[in-house]
Chain A
Amino acid sequence: MIKQAALTAAALAVLSGCTVSGGAIPVVDSGRPVSNEDMRTGAGRVVGSSPQTSAPQDSGVVVMVPDGAGGSSAVQSYPLDSQPVFSTDVGGAAAGTAGSSTGSSIGGSTGGSSVLQPDEQLSGPVLALLTTARQQEGSGDLNGANASLERAMRIAPREPQVLYRLAQVRLRQGDAAQAEQLAQRGLTYASGRPALQAGLWELVAQARDAQGNSAGAEQARQRARVSL
């Protein structure tokens, strides 16, 4: 009798042992407490080696544009210094009156099938992001390229080259409607830059083709030819 009791007790002990696994109850921090103190992020920290967004190039290559007085003034290709545009140049041509500009070309700037002329240089951060986007496109990470290009757009919202690249990526992703819209948006900012306009119209044509609008695509190609 005792032996049987001991057996059953042992069996129970073994059984309960099988189910012991132990573990902590994972309680995870939610949002900040409702005061303005103690604002920790507790965010995931991943310190890894990955392509930095810093471009090992000289910064501050600037497009020179002739102004009406016969000299030339620097043009920033993003509207961060827009105050000078208003105060010195009411109705003036910050985007350039004509394509005639000078500037040095940056070695290894956006290569590949780009319509960028050496004169259409970009500011440091925007260029770095476009380079990153190019790398991401090359490795097939189109979502990442989108994100990098949108980041560039937040810095330089009026830079048509960013919109050009964004439209390209969208076209590759199959979103032809948005590619067309984005290219149109780029065109509104690209006055005075005929080469870029031609490239944008070409993109519009490709997007329209993809949507089955061949008549519209032909019109766009004609406008591309006129621009050049």
Chain B
Amino acid sequence: MAKKRRSLGKVKSTGGHRLWGWLLKLGLVGMVLLGALAVYLDAVVQEKFSGKRWAVPAKVFARPLELYAGRALTRDDFLTELRALGYRQTNAANGPGQMAVGSSRIDVYTRGFQFFEGTEPAQKVSVHFNGSTISSIGGNRDLVMARLEPMMIGGIYPAHNEDRILIRLDQAPPYLVDSLVAVEDRDFFNHFGVSPKGIARAMFVNLTSGSLQQGGSTLTQQLVKNFFLSADRNIVRKGLEAMMAVLLELHYSKEDILEAYLNEVFLGQDGNRAVHGFGLASQYYFAQPLQELQLHQVALLVGMVKGASYYNPRRNPERAMTRRNLVLDLMAEQGMISQQQASDAKGKPLDVTAGGSMANTSHPAFMDLVKRQLRADYRDEDLTSEGLRIFTSFDPLLQKKAEDAVQSTLKRFGQTPDRPPLEAAMVVTGAQTGEVLALVGGSNPRFSGFNRALDASRPIGSLIKPAIYLTALEKPERYSLITPIDDEPITLEAEPGKTWSPQNYDRQSHGQVPLYMALAKSYNQAAVRVGVDVGVDNVLNTVRRLGVDHDWPAYPAMLLGSGAMTPMQVADMFQTIANGGFNTPLRAIRNVLTAEGEPLKRYPFEVRQRFDSATIYLTQEAMSHVMSEGTGRSAYSHVPANVRLAGKTGTTNDLRDSWFAGFSDDLVAVSWIGRDDNSQTRLTGATGALQVWNAFMGQAHPQSLSAVPPGGVVSAWVDPATGLGSDPSCEGSVEFPFRAGYEPLPGPGCRPVIDTEVLRDGANRVLDTIRDWLR
């Protein structure tokens, strides 16, 4: 009886209860699934945000400035470096980062630094200057040398080569955060990841205005979208986005999310490279650092968040302008700026630059070289360890001087309005070390574009002549510095059936000239004669041995430099001559440390002897005559006369390319001027590139080339007119270096054989003595 009643009771309420039961069970299952999904998404979110996604950029450092007595450094250059490193001027340098500046003395408390080969401690150093040298340094315990910390010149993302200019939240300019929040997510600081209020408001505004003006997504949701999800805008995506946004807010603070947003938001496309983050966008659109942007520029970038391509200020300027003004209105509406400020800003133009530059460094040309060298030695996968510290040979002081030289010289030349502008490139390397010290890739060194120093391959013109004469001097039995060469017309068969008669620049022939003079004055006919005599293929092989791999055909025309090289290759070639015949592969990186300070890789100094040092010395001697009396002599209007230099001008056909390559004891510098469309410059090597070189060397205080000959070189007196041995007593004779064993025999002296003067004196004395006896 009871059982029946119970079962009846059960049956009666089953209908409703069953439905509820099923719903509850479904709800529970759904919640469990949702919970599992939440756990999974949570893991994804955290993995992305906690370090892996943000590849810590490799830091690229310049060379550390070394301080020791006798080092060539001016007080002003030292001050420039200290200021660039952020040292503060105080009365007495008592703590790291402070300096006390006097007229010929600077006290500095250095900051310590962890180098590849050890730690440099923070310490107080007093540096005394005398002219353009450090006369002495002082510190504790008889300090002999000290190093400043190296300057950071850029960052590299090894893993995916995506550039960013990362900004911290406190580096954002005024108005940026406020306007972003005002336009995109008014309740950002109050919501929990999703904002129902924001969604409702957006729906209201869009419905009433009839157009899609506001989005309902929070900044957090947008960040999630940028980071994780594709562009599909379906409901499932939206749901996932919302969940991840909530999870993100659970783990990270508003500030963290905002900072990530500022660095991640998509703001444009440059070919196949994406512009992410306000830091890079500021550089790309305005060529300015983010901190310097003004209100109207900030408003434009904030407006572009909604659709970077749709509101692209270069392609759709009217749309961009409208959007920007809308942003400014919103800001005024919410009281962030005054009405006056808003209308002022609305009156301004967009102010974007004509072309976009993706440079994330002040030295894009050199950074380009660093990246290429890294890529040559590491596959992208190998560089997975992040936060690498890359130490380079970059010298900011020399870089500034090179840039100033290029820009001031180009400015002096002016621009011809009917042609593309003059462009330039410059490479500076250490003569004995083969390290790249400065690199200028174009007339605007801040611009990250075509790197002419590394990639502009142009005919080298007369720059090949040192290779011709070097080949000749390697046969000392036939050629010495004073061997007379015929600078006379010569006709050769260039291609079958065609002849070639090279002309000198001044259209004259100069008869017999000593070999060194033929190089100094860059006579074409003499060069071709010598080149044909020693063999064009031998000359081209000399160029290879000098360090430049090429595949030029062995035509005589190559002897006047119709082969092409980049400025970097020219630097490599002249480096070998400057370095006594030892070729050193040019390199920019010295070594690499991991983020923890462990040594990772070294790029050691390596040499390969390619030429006999005696022959190279003779070649250097000839090239020094280029500077003292030849086509390069204008250098001595900028450099003191007692500094021995060597170099060569290079001019190409129809005056299209202007080259100069030259070196001192410590520096090799190559400069080039030309036009990108290869049209005429109307500049010779001397009137064009040499001017840049002079301006640079005038500031760089080069050291005099050593006049000490190596073993295997002897001096002898010769008559320059005949090339025969002579004697110091003869008028007009000069001393020249020769390969030992091949010097001319000394010639007859020019004093009379019997010195009558002495005889007469002697005779007079004898007579005087006899007279005395007779007295």
Contact = CB atoms under 8 A, between A and B. Distances in A.
B39 A79 contact: no
A226 interface: no
Interface in B433-451: 433, 446
A174 B597 CA distance: 25
A70 interface: no
A100 interface: no
Contacts of B666: 79, 157
B264 to A, nearest CB: 10
B144 A43 contact: no
A87 interface: yes
Interface stretch (B297-305, B557-565, B603-611): B603-611
B69 A30 contact: no
Interface in A18-58: 18-36, 38-58
Contacts of A82: 665, 703-706
B142 interface: yes
B251 A22 contact: yes
Contacts of A42: 152
B61 A43 contact: yes
Contacts of B703: 79-80, 82-83
B415 interface: no
A125 B144 contact: yes
A143 interface: yes
B626 interface: no
Contacts of A43: 59, 61, 113, 149-150, 152, 389
B637 interface: no
Contact of B116 (A25, A48, A147, A181): A147
A136 interface: yes
Contact of A31 (B153, B168, B705): B153
A34 B361 contact: yes
B707 A80 contact: no
Interface string B581-608: 0100000001100000101001011111
B142 A21 contact: no
B38 A59 contact: no
A80 B252 contact: no
A69 interface: no
B476 interface: no
Contacts of A128: 144-145
A55 B144 contact: yes
Contacts of A151: 66, 117
B446 A34 contact: yes
A116 interface: no
Contacts of B389: 43-44
B745 interface: no
A153 B259 CA distance: 46
A54 B66 CA distance: 13
Given A31-B153, A153-B432, A16 B42 contact: yes
Contacts of A24: 252-253, 256
B133 interface: yes
Contact of A125 (B39, B68, B85, B257): B68
B142 A185 contact: no
Contacts of B290: 33
Given A34-B360, A85-B706, A136-B117, A47 B289 contact: no
Interface string A140-173: 0001101110110111011000000010001000
A12 interface: yes
Contacts of B60: 31
Contacts of B50: 21, 23, 25-26
A184 B609 contact: yes
Interface in B164-188: 164-168
B155 A31 contact: yes
Contacts of B20: 1
A15 B32 CA distance: 10
B176 to A, nearest CB: 14
A172 to B, nearest CB: 13
Interface in B381-418: 387, 389
A135 to B, nearest CB: 10
Contact of B605 (A8, A79, A153): A153
B26 interface: no
Interface string A59-99: 11000000000000000101111110111011111110000
A11 B144 CA distance: 69
Contacts of A91: 707-709, 715, 735, 737
Nearest to A79: B665
B43 A19 contact: yes
A198 interface: no
A123 interface: yes
A224 interface: no
B706 A11 contact: no
Contacts of A83: 642-643, 703-704
Contacts of B143: 54
Contacts of B46: 19, 21, 23
A182 B607 contact: yes
Contacts of B115: 147
A40 B88 CA distance: 12
A9 to B, nearest CB: 8
Interface string B6-47: 000000000000001000100010011001001100110010
Given A33-B165, A147-B591, A154-B430, A45 B116 contact: no
B569 interface: no
B49 interface: yes
B250 interface: yes
Interface stretch (B118-126, B463-471, B689-697): B118-126
A46 B593 CA distance: 14
B289 A35 contact: yes
A178 interface: yes
Nearest to B31: A8
A216 interface: no
B56 interface: yes
A113 interface: no
Nearest to B63: A154
A51 B253 CA distance: 44
B49 A25 contact: yes
B112 A188 contact: no
A23 B582 contact: no
A204 B192 CA distance: 73
Nearest to A44: B114
A66 B430 CA distance: 32
Contact of B119 (A46, A182, A189): A46
Nearest to B361: A31
Interface string B202-217: 0000000000000000
Interface string B342-371: 000000000000000001111000000000
Nearest to A12: B35
Contacts of B430: 154
Contacts of A19: 39, 42-43, 46
A94 B279 CA distance: 55
A30 B251 contact: no
Which of A60, A85, A184 is most buried by chain B, counting CB atoms within 10 A of its CB?
Answer: A85
B579 to A, nearest CB: 9
Given A43-B152, A144-B116, A150 B141 contact: no
A100 to B, nearest CB: 18
Given A25-B256, A48-B119, A182-B607, A30 B360 contact: yes
Contacts of A148: 117-118
Given A23-B46, A43-B150, A150 B142 contact: no
Given A18-B39, A80-B133, A154-B433, 8 more contacts: A28-B56, A31-B165, A43-B152, A44-B114, A46-B112, A80-B70, A82-B705, A170-B604
5 closest residue pairs by CB, A with B:
A33-B289, A157-B432, A30-B155, A31-B154, A147-B117
24 contacts: A5-B24, A15-B35, A15-B39, A19-B39, A22-B252, A25-B256, A26-B50, A31-B153, A32-B153, A43-B61, A43-B149, A44-B114, A45-B122, A46-B114, A46-B597, A81-B70, A82-B704, A85-B704, A125-B68, A128-B145, A144-B117, A146-B602, A153-B433, A189-B710
